[in-house]
Amino acid sequence: MSATIDLGTIEPGGERTERRDAAANRALILETAETLFNERGVENVCMADIAQAAGVGKGTLYRRFANKAELALALMDTQMREFQEAMLSRMRQQSEQGLSKLEQLDQFLDALIYFVDRHNPLLCVVQNEGLLESVGEQERQRPHFWQHMTVSGLLNAAIDEGELPPDLDTIYVADALLATLNASLFRFQREGRHFSLERISAGLRRLAAGLK
Amino acid sequence: MSATIDLGTIEPGGERTERRDAAANRALILETAETLFNERGVENVCMADIAQAAGVGKGTLYRRFANKAELALALMDTQMREFQEAMLSRMRQQSEQGLSKLEQLDQFLDALIYFVDRHNPLLCVVQNEGLLESVGEQERQRPHFWQHMTVSGLLNAAIDEGELPPDLDTIYVADALLATLNASLFRFQREGRHFSLERISAGLRRLAAGLK
DNA sequence: GATAATAGCGGACTGTAGTCCGTTTGTCAA
DNA sequence: TTGACAAACGGACTACAGTCCGCTATTATC
């Protein structure tokens, strides 16, 4: 009766447990992709290459990952969760220490900048496929979604604390602040404009500071 | 000796004048593309369709427009120039009337929002191909480039007028404000979040207002 | 007008994304 | 075990982007 529901990598209820060979292939594909990406750079590896290097058919590859963006997202998954949890625990701690919500926002944005920088190539791939598609598609937006929750949450909390005026459009502002960290723009700022991380961080925090 | 250099659609010096058949084809392709885009929607038309409908070979099509983004850009070209000139003349006029630089910035951003909304489908195509490529590629960035010039120019002018603090990183801020108008994000805000143009405009201007 | 030089043309060709479907394999119940 | 059945597999196939190159048309010159 009660099937042992294994949560796998995706938590929403109702997921069936993955067959053993499928799980093995998923791991194999991820390893292979990571290796190839490191060897040749993300943009110089195509899906067929990955399938061949992993010794599986293209059908198998696409059954697991609908495209390169999903694959890239899966590769970042662990580090994203770690980052996410680190931020949450840090913010909890900071709240206890009485740090203001706006200062917490500052630090969150700063940390996010370093994260975006480190993972820029993968993020470029992820975002290329991103928001564009049918609006309902939430899977690939997961990173943005979480980031948006965090930023708008901090903004709302700041309003509650009287640090920001209550009429602020926090949903919009969160969008705007995060738009700044779009991977392609970020790359252009880093490589084309030769901005340092410090400059980007200072600029963004300045923008946030203007809200009060 | 002195060849009559026809400026064509692109002005940088050293351009040869286009052969008559080539010019005819360019016009034919643009017309055809516009029709197809209107009939089926930009994203449901591929380059081969356009070539076929125009009755030219793919080679011919690609000789004129390296990809759909360039084609889309060319289709917006006229309206973009008009918008650009309208803005410039309006700003000149506003300066004479003593309107502050920050108010001019507000109005520019507001107008830009309506422009981005009207041309969203084409802009999505243009930006998809955009910034990503080799950083040097300036042709396709033309819209961004011009917008960035305008915004950072206004910010610098505002500093000169004492409306903004002189230590403001105007280059960065211009990037940040414009990042907000990224076509994909914009579309998401409009269709996914159901934001009105007024809401977006108010939010963005609020952000700009915080700079002082 | 004839001719040479060259820009322009067309469509076959290559490479990649992503789908489809007949075959194989793992899992669960008897 | 074994058999049934769903899940997973592989690779041929379709669709689209973009390139290449031999042929054609235009234009400048005489």
Q: How many Cβ atoms sit within 10 Å of the Cβ of residue B25? A: 19
What average pLDDT does range A178-193 have in this prediction? Answer: 94
Amino acid sitting at position B136 = G
Stretch B52-77: mean pLDDT, rounded?
95
Show which positions of strand D are touched by protein (CB under 7 A).
7-13, 15-21, 25-27
Instruction: Please report the sign of the dihedral spanned by the C-alpha atoms of residue A80, residue A206, residue B84, residue B190.
Output: positive
Model confidence at A9: pLDDT above 50: no
Could you tell me the domains of chain B?
Answer: 1-65 (1.10.10.60), 68-209 (1.10.357.10)
CA of B12 to C1' of C7 (A): 20
Helix (H) or strand (E) holding B140: none
- Average pLDDT over chain A reads 88
Nearest to A180 by CA among A168, A188, A171: A188
Burial class (CB in 10 A: 0-12, 13-18, 19+), A11: exposed
Find the mean pLDDT for residues A63-73: 94
pLDDT band per the 50, 70, 90 thresholds, residue A21: confident
Cross-chain Cβ contact B179/A182 below 8 Å = yes
pLDDT of residue B141: 64
- Give the length of chain A: 212
Size of interface A-B (CB pairs under 8 A): 97
Q: Is B99 left (phi over 0), alpha (psi -120 to 50) or beta?
A: beta
- The model's confidence at residue A12, banded by pLDDT at 50, 70 and 90, is very low
- Nearest Cα of chain A lies from the Cα of B113 at a distance, in angstroms, of 14
pLDDT in tens, B144-178: 889 999 999 999 999 999 999 999 999 999 999 99
Pick the closest to residue B137 from A117, A188, A26, A36 (CA basis).
A188
**Chain B: residues touching A (Cβ < 8 Å):** 124, 128, 130-132, 135, 168-169, 171-173, 175-176, 179-180, 182, 184-185, 187-189, 191-193, 195, 199-200, 202-204, 206-207, 209-212
pLDDT computed for residue B113 by the predictor: 98
Selecting from A132, A173, A180 the residue whose C-beta is nearest the C-beta of B176 gives A180
* C-alpha–C-alpha distance, residues A197 and A58, integer Å: 39
CA A4 to chain centre: 30
Residue for token digits 């950083």?
B135
Residue in this structure with the two tokens 């796998």, named with its chain if needed: A8
Q: What percent of chain B has pLDDT over 70?
A: 86
Question: Is the pLDDT reported for residue B9 higher than 60?
Answer: no
User: Which bin fits B14, alpha (ψ -120 to 50), beta or left (φ > 0)?
Assistant: left
Q: A18-27, A93-102, A193-202: which has the minimum mean pLDDT? A: A18-27
* Max avg pLDDT among A3-12, A96-105, A135-144: A96-105
- Determine, for residues A185 and B175 on separate chains, whether the beta-carbon distance falls below 8 Å: yes
Report the candidate in A53, A49, A208, A8 with the shortest Cα–Cα distance to residue B210.
A208
Task: Give how far the C-alpha of residue A27 lies from the chain's centroid of Cα atoms, to the nearest Å.
Answer: 20
pLDDT at A53: 96
| Chain A residue closest in CA terms to B192 | A135
The DSSP call for residue A210 is T
Burial class (CB in 10 A: 0-12, 13-18, 19+), A33: buried
Answer yes or no: is pLDDT of B194 > 60: yes
- Interatomic CA–C1' length for residue B18 and nucleotide D29, angstroms: 19
Integer Rg of chain B from CA = 20
Work out the pLDDT band at A143, boundaries 50, 70, 90: confident
Of B131, B185, B199, the CB nearest to A169: B199
CA distances from A8 to A23, A71, A142, B41 (A): 9, 16, 17, 39
Contact A209 B210 (CB under 8 A): yes
Nucleotide nearest B57, from its CA to each C1': C10
Strands of A51-118, DSSP E: none
Cβ contacts of A30 within 8 Å, gap of 6 or more: A71, A74, A75
SS3 content of chain B, % helix, strand, coil (to 5): 70, 0, 30
- Reply yes or no on whether the pLDDT at B135 is more than 70: no
CA distance B173 to B170: 5
